[in-house]
Amino acid sequence: MEKDTILVVDDSDIICSIVKGILETPSLHIYIVHSGEEGIIAAKKLHPTLILLDIIMNGIDGYETCQILKSSDETKDIPVIFITGNNDSDSVLKGFEVGAADYVSKPFIPEELKARVKVHMQNIKIQRELQFLMKELKEMAVTDYLTKLYNRRYFADQLQVYVTQYMLPIFLLLFDIDNFKKINDSYGHNAGDMVLVTVSNIFKLLLREEDILSRWGGEEFMICLPNISEEETIDLANKLRKEVSKYTFNCDNNTFQCTITGGIIKYDRSISAEKNYSNVDQALYLGKSSGKNRCIYNDPILESTN
């Protein structure tokens, strides 16, 4: 079971022991320090779920400690509940002004302390769930649901960044799985899905961090290779092709192999992105029509002069 941690910052051993006795459970760990300075260090190290912070302490007091925590990117989002014997309106207001989420008065009423902590823990749980959902939604907007590769729209957006902001050579690779319909017809759509995922993973293993890999549509994959030479591009394309051709697929007691065909172009900034896509698609078509399981480098400028 994953534990949440509450950091208690109080210079009184008795208060710390009381808090620990009231709150600690198998799923909630209580970590104790005795000064504001120690609290700041511990907060950055532990990233606790919640901080219980005494106001009056030797050294820097709770107000200053809270201000420092809230001014740091590492700790600004951790909720702080002040522990205070001064529950007059001025003290409480000052606590909220420096960033506290709540306060609890000493001496503690155990059920009140539990209730206040419970409310904030529940809020944190809801925030985590919302963050997780937002992350999933963001990923769904830019990735293909099956292969988890970037989708066509995201690829186009990222390519545009490379084209406009970095005046480096860019090559495009467009790969297509050969005879993919035959794989689906012979072994079923589960086998086809497995091939798509496996080919995606082979590409991921061999490409560089700066390369952009996308599922272009159906059984096609588009790759952007920035800051690379023509020779390196052709070598990499053939390496990807050969690795796929060597792989043995196993699905539902069926064993088979497949190949891929690739088209390669150097991105031409003098024409539109769509025209570049058309050129690399043409290179792929030449590979398909000339026997498959090969990579074709198609220079449209040279082609137009022949």
Considering only CA atoms, which of 239, 282, 246, 240 is closest in space to residue 264? Answer: 282
Q: Is 239 helix (H, G, I), strand (E, B) or coil?
A: helix
> Residue 27 is encoded by which pair of tokens?
């799923």
Alpha carbon separation from 214 to 119, 124, 152, 227, 253 (Å, rounded): 43, 35, 6, 18, 30
Active site residue 38: no
Q: Choose, from 129, 136, 209, 219, the residue flagged as catalytic.
A: 219
Question: Tokens 């690379």 — which residue?
Answer: 228
> Residue 217 is encoded by which pair of tokens?
């549509």
What is the spatial distance between Cα 148 and Cα 197, in angstroms, rounded to a whole number? 8
**222: which strand partners?**
174, 214
Question: Tokens 């040279």 — which residue?
Answer: 302
Q: Which amino acids are annotated catalytic?
A: 219
